[in-house]
A and B are shown apart, each in its own frame.
Chain A
Amino acid sequence: QITLKESGPTLVKPTQTLTLTCTFSGFSLSTSGVGVGWIRQPPGKALEWLALIYWNDDKRYSPSLKSRLTITKDTSKNQVVLTMTNMDPVDTATYYCARITVTRAVDYWGQGTLVTVSS
C-alpha cells in the first residue's frame, strides 16, 4: 500500500521560509523511474505544480517559483523536503506531496496540508 503524508507548519509569517516534509511508504525513491513532487492549491483555485525530484536526484522546478524553491530527498528515511523562501499571503494554499512517474503522471497523492501565510 502506497501512502504519502505532508507535515510542517500550518501558519507562517510573511517573509519567513516554509519547510514541508513528505514522508512516504510502500515504495522506494531509489527505484528507477520513481519521483516525488509537490503541488499546491490555493483555496477555491486550480492546482499548481511546484517541484519534483527523481530517484537519480534529477530535480525540476516551476519556472515562476524556481528562485524560491529547493527540493531534497533522504532515501534512507523515505522523505522528501520542500523549502520555499520569502513566503507571502498569496502562497496560502493546500500543499500536496505526490508520487510522480517518468511521464509526469501523479499516481498517488498525500492528503494535503493547508498552509496559511499571515502576520
Chain B
Amino acid sequence: QSALTQPASVSGSPGQSITISCTGTSSDVGGYNYVSWYQQHPGKAPKLMIYEVSNRPSGVPDRFSGSKSGNTASLTISGLQAEDEADYYCSSYTSSSTSVVFGGGTKLTVL
C-alpha cells in the first residue's frame, strides 16, 4: 500500500489560514470517512487533531477543521498561531489491507 500524498511543507503568517491536503485513492481516503489528522511537535508523540474526516476530539481548538472531497482530504487551520508550527500527518483506513495508511507528513512553518 502506498502512503497518502501530502505537500512537504506549507507556511503562513500569524492570523492567516492554511490548508494541508492529503490525497489517496478510492480504496482509502475516497472510499471511507475514516480520515484522521495528527500534529507532532519535535521530539514529541503525535496528537490526534481530527478524526472521521471532520470531528475534533475534546480540547482541540475549533481553529482546526477537516473536510474531504473525492480522494482528497484537507486540514484547515484558521487564525494561525506560533504554537501551530509542527509536522502534520494524515491517515486513513485502507481496504487494501483493512489496516491503516499514513501520509508522508507536512511541515507547517508559521512565519
Contact = CB atoms under 8 A, between A and B. Distances in A.
Given A47-B102, A49-B101, A107 B96 contact: no
Given A46-B102, A49-B100, A103 B52 contact: yes
B45 interface: yes
Interface residues of B, number: 27
A47 B99 contact: no
B91 A106 contact: yes
Nearest to A112: B45
Contacts of A46: 3, 89, 102-105
Counting chain A residues whose Cβ lies within 8 A of the other chain, the interface size class is 20 to 34
Interface of A: 37, 39, 46-49, 52, 60-64, 96, 101, 103-107, 109-112
Given A52-B99, A103-B93, 11 more contacts: A46-B105, A47-B91, A60-B99, A62-B97, A96-B46, A104-B100, A105-B52, A106-B38, A106-B46, A106-B91, A110-B45
Nearest 3 CB-CB pairings of A with B: A105-B51, A109-B45, A60-B99
11 contacts: A47-B91, A49-B100, A60-B98, A60-B100, A64-B1, A103-B33, A104-B92, A105-B36, A105-B48, A109-B46, A112-B45
